[in-house]
Amino acid sequence: VERFEESEFDDRFAWRSSVVTEFVSEVARRVDGDLSLTLHPDPYPGHLYERSGIDLASLAEHVDEFVVPLYDTAYGTTYWLESLASGFRDVLDAPLAVELYAVDIEIDNLVHAAEVADAYANDVLFGYDASNAQAAIRRLDAEAREGESYG
């Protein structure tokens, strides 16, 4: 409260956003290489700004990509994943990566979720289970190749 009152701002949301943006700017100056910023999975206009002080346009000047974790324990349905990924694609003018949860997920479901996310994201990341992630990547790679038949 004191820092806000001592600031030049009258609007608490604007002040909070300036603090977050300045922090990310400082981090960007200290990081060698690419800088990714993870966002809460809520693309609804104004929510990130009001809840967390995140101004996407201002932060895009300091980061190389935004990462949105869209976790499910099964990915049995993906309409919600598509809605959220599409929502972020609509509001971001910066690279977007969608992170999927890969622990104990059926490979077919994980592959389908990756295909859905890939339609909207620049990158799809797999979290927490390297063996499932590798299996999904191998399957996606195999499906992308032209096959040859012999015989």
pLDDT in tens for each of the 151 residues of the chain?
A: 789 999 999 999 999 999 999 999 999 999 999 999 999 999 999 999 999 999 999 999 999 999 999 999 999 999 999 999 999 999 999 999 999 999 999 999 999 999 999 999 999 999 987 888 888 888 888 888 877 777 7
Report pLDDT for 69.
Answer: 98
CATH of domain 2-144: 3.20.20.80
Report pLDDT for 149.
Answer: 72
How far apart (Å, rounded) are the C-alpha atoms in residues 65 and 48? 16
Report pLDDT for 141.
Answer: 84
One-letter amino acid at 16 equals R
H or E segment to which residue 26 belongs:
helix 12-30
How far apart (Å, rounded) are the C-alpha atoms in residues 52 and 87? 18
Q: What Rg, from alpha-carbon coordinates, does the chain have?
A: 19
